[in-house]
Amino acid sequence: METYKIAENKIFHAAGRDFIFLAEDNTIFEMDDRIKGILKKPCHAEEFTQEDAFAKLSCPPEEKNELFDELIRSRALVSSKGKSDARRIDFEKMSIQLKTLVLHVTDACNLGCRYCYYGDAGHAASAKAKMSRKVAFRAVDFLMENSVDLKEVVIVFFGGEPLLNLDLIRLIVDYARKKATEKEIRIDFAITTNGTLLNDKVIGFLRENNIGVTISIDGFEKVHDRFRRFPNGAPSYGAILPGLKKLLADKEGKPVVARVTVAGESKYIPEILDHLLSLGFSEAGFAPVTTSDLSYQLSLGEMEHLLSHFKMLSETFIDHAKRDEFYGFTNLVDNLVVLHEGERKDYPCGAGLGLFSVDTKGHLYLCQRLTGEASSCMGDVFSGFDRLLLSRFRQQAFISEKKACTECWVRKICAGGCYHEALVREGGLAEPNMHYCQWIKDWVELGLSVYGRLAVECPGYLEKLSMLRGHEPLMNHSI
């Protein structure tokens, strides 16, 4: 006789209602009274028959069949015979479809931020290297060749400080546009900059070419200048402010976002966000610094502090949502969109899948933060991907290969976490980031609670957030 069990889940309450998050599928359902008797069980290991299930459904007998089928279809109930989605993947045959190429147009930087990871990965020796036109054009061709049938590709300018090589960026933009037109695909550009070299000319260029800008800025002057200084020790906040204000005043270009590195302590997070939004940034995202240096790394206590700030900001976010306004707290937006889209992640991010980074010599790395790290080098733009290395990496990094993550209820969202973080903190690219498991679970749980409240109190708002991130409208998730 066929037996069933409740799918692995997390039950949560929000806005006076009960919801269930299904861990394997990354889906969320509101539980009505008819199904609470069966789903509201602490243990998902218990097996039962269809007859047992019928006894726990609170609905008229004639509706039980349909309701039971619905629970099976939605995978809230699954067969008790092992994991239904055990997949066999031939990693050597996995395709490569390149969508985003991050170009390190220079290794040089005019700042000397104290916590900068860039010093960790073998950059010191080539700190002044610039990408040549030959490497850059070859990288563009490589992107076009390997994007296969994608209709849209992205080039991100990164460094060092990429605006130190603005002449090359100009050439790349022209060349890449020409190549994209020939291939009849769309191309987008983005840049991550420290903001020190923004002036009218640069801002005009960014706007004319619709280049998305991310500014690395750590907050208001006192916080920003703790670590983000020039090599001679001079503070940088005052130096970036005039250009930054001009950039942010220009509403013709794409919205400008801020990336905040949280280092040493996690004080002032709400004040930092308010400051950045009041300057004119559309959003700001916070990332704890990745370093093994204890003087910058956030302690467990500081990480908890960070989470309590995130909780406060989430309340502000909900207040804005109730007025149908947007509050640019990137971390929460991303958390909510992942939940809303129900994307089941086998890998934590696009690194090594659709995204690669190119160093000044043309070597291909898994991502921008791993550029220069030998163990993440996957070939070069002249001779192509090292397919064996890449397939080995993809196999090792696959979530099902991370034994420590097998029973984790956020595994299809976290997927073991950032490879760069894993390398620095856990000693290997494909190691699960066990040092922040509890934090990430608490953060997803907070996201679930906000999700439930928004779903009930601001219908349609979650959909808008998803569309803001470029997703198509979805069907309603609730049963």
Q: Is 416 in the site for ligand SF4 (CB under 6 A)?
A: yes
Q: Is 351 in the site for ligand SF4 (CB under 6 A)?
A: yes
User: Of residues 179, 309, 420, 425, which one binds ligand SF4 by CB under 6 A?
Assistant: 420
Q: Is 410 in the site for ligand SF4 (CB under 6 A)?
A: yes
CB 198 within 8 A of CB 147: no
For residue 258, the cross-strand partners are 215, 284
Rounded to a whole number of angstroms, the minimum distance from the CB of residue 123 to ligand SF4 is 15
Identity at 295, one-letter amino acid code? S
Residues 367, 142: Cα–Cα separation, whole Å: 16
Kindly determine how many residues on this chain lie close enough to bind ligand SF4 according to the rule CB under 6 A. Answer: 23
Closest CA to 229 of 377, 352, 109, 105: 109
Choice between 56 and 345, CB closer to ligand SF4: 345
User: Of residues 105, 206, 405, 448, which one binds ligand SF4 by CB under 6 A?
Assistant: 405
Q: Is 404 in the site for ligand SF4 (CB under 6 A)?
A: yes
Length, in residues, of the chain: 479
- Number of H-type helices and E-type strands within the chain: 16, 15
Choice between 4 and 158, CB closer to ligand SF4: 158
Question: Where does this chain touch ligand SF4 (CB under 6 A) — which range of 47-55, 179-187, 256-264, 411-419?
Answer: 411-419
Burial 282-300 (b: 16+ CB within 10 A, else e): bbbbbebbbbeeeebbbee
Rounded to a whole number of angstroms, the minimum distance from the CB of residue 256 to ligand SF4 is 20
CB 153 within 8 A of CB 172: no
Rounded to a whole number of angstroms, the minimum distance from the CB of residue 434 to ligand SF4 is 6
Residues 400, 392: Cα–Cα separation, whole Å: 14
User: Of residues 67, 98, 263, 418, which one binds ligand SF4 by CB under 6 A?
Assistant: 418
Site for ligand SF4 in 421-440 (CB under 6 A): 432-434, 437, 440
Cβ count within 10 A of residue 244: 22
User: Of residues 408, 424, 430, 465, which one binds ligand SF4 by CB under 6 A?
Assistant: 408
Q: What would the DSSP string read from start to end of 203-233?
A: HHHHHHTT-EEEEE--SSHHHHHHH-B-TTS
Rounded to a whole number of angstroms, the minimum distance from the CB of residue 441 to ligand SF4 is 6
Closest CA to 110 of 244, 250, 206, 234: 234
Rounded to a whole number of angstroms, the minimum distance from the CB of residue 111 to ligand SF4 is 19
User: Of residues 38, 180, 367, 424, which one binds ligand SF4 by CB under 6 A?
Assistant: 367
Residues in contact with ligand SF4 by CB under 6 A are: 348-349, 351, 367, 369, 402, 404-405, 408, 410-411, 414, 416-420, 432-434, 437, 440-441
